[in-house]
Amino acid sequence: MILENISASLQKGKATEVKDFVQEALNQKIAPQTILNEGLIKGMTIIGGKFKRNEVFVPEVLVAARAMNAGLTILRPILVASGTHAIGKALVCTVQGDLHDIGKNLVKMMIEGQGIECTDLGVDCSPEKIVESVILYEPDIVCLSALLTTTMMKQKLVIDELKKANVMKNIRVIIGGAPVTQDFADGIGADGYAPDAASAADLAVKLIMEKRNLMKNVK
Ligand code: B1M
């Protein structure tokens, strides 16, 4: 019932209600992951379907997205609490031309939950900005999110620019987002693809561990 309330309030864009229901669900000892998947993401998926069928439009989707982010502010500390000490560093962003940030925010949250320190570059990030940030922050992992078929090719552009800047050997690039697939990731030379935020976090840990072992063998 409470999960349905979260989903319904999110669809109406009622941010305060969503926050209250998320808190109530936590008080009822419902697992944070269940609240996320069966409350927040479920509501957003329903809105996505209505958006596709032209039953709702950008303003409704925008308020629903704000309500989703409001709910995530309550869940965030709990979902990231498991990470105690940093095992590595990640840079997360949504690529140039793309303003969708909910999936990216979830990836950041899950990665932090695995004890990986995260720098969030936000949305609409140009390849130049990403290259500069890689040089500045020296992350182990770069996470690129793209939600539009028109922006997924920007993920390739970022990898091309990272190669040109000669920094690919120090990092591992993970890509994801609704239109992205493993085949696409393989085709553009990404080090990994994850279908969802939790898998992205698992993959980040795996790649950091592999990278550490590789470095050890080189020394
Ligand atoms: Co947009 N939008 N949108 N939108 N929007 C989609 C993506 C769309 C599929 C809707 C549709 O038509 N059915 C469609 C894209 C079509 C396409 O390209 N094939 C679309 C469109 C067309 C547009 C505009 C062009 C609409 C317009 O203006 N006419 C416009 C573009 C703006 C721009 O970016 N330049 C636009 C705008 C917007 C809003 C601003 C209104 C809003 C975004 C608000 C925000 O993010 N703050 C919005 C929203 C909310 C959506 C939908 C409804 C929901 C997206 C979402 O947040 N889902 C979306 C429809 C849909 O997806 N059903 C849609 C929940 C989120 C948890 O899922 O982001 O997929 P998602 O993340 C998942 C996985 O993809 C994965 O993990 C998450 C789950 O754990 N993942 C990764 C994501 N990044 C990852 C990175 C990884 C690994 C996994 O590794 C690094």
Domain ranges of the chain: 2-81, 88-218
So what CATH class is 2-81?
mainly alpha
- Whether 74 contacts 22, CB under 8 Å: yes
pLDDT at 218: 64
Per the CATH hierarchy, to which homologous superfamily does domain 88-218 belong? Cobalamin-binding domain (3.40.50.280)
**Rounded to whole angstroms, how far apart are CA atoms 206 and 200?**
10
Ligand 1 mutation target, pool 100, 143, 193, most atoms within 8 A of CB: 100
pLDDT at 85: 60
Whether residue 98 has its Cβ less than 6 Å from ligand 1:
yes
- For residue 98, the ligand 1 atom closest to its alpha carbon is 34
pLDDT at 33: 87
pTM of the model: 0.88
Below-50 pLDDT ranges, the chain: 83-84
Whether residue 60 has its Cβ less than 6 Å from ligand 1:
no
25's CB contacts (< 8 A; 6+ apart) are 2, 3, 6, 35, 39
| 131, 200, 211 from 169: Cα distances, Å | 13, 20, 10
Q: What torsion do the CA atoms of 217, 219, 160, 190 make, to the nearest 10 degrees?
A: 20
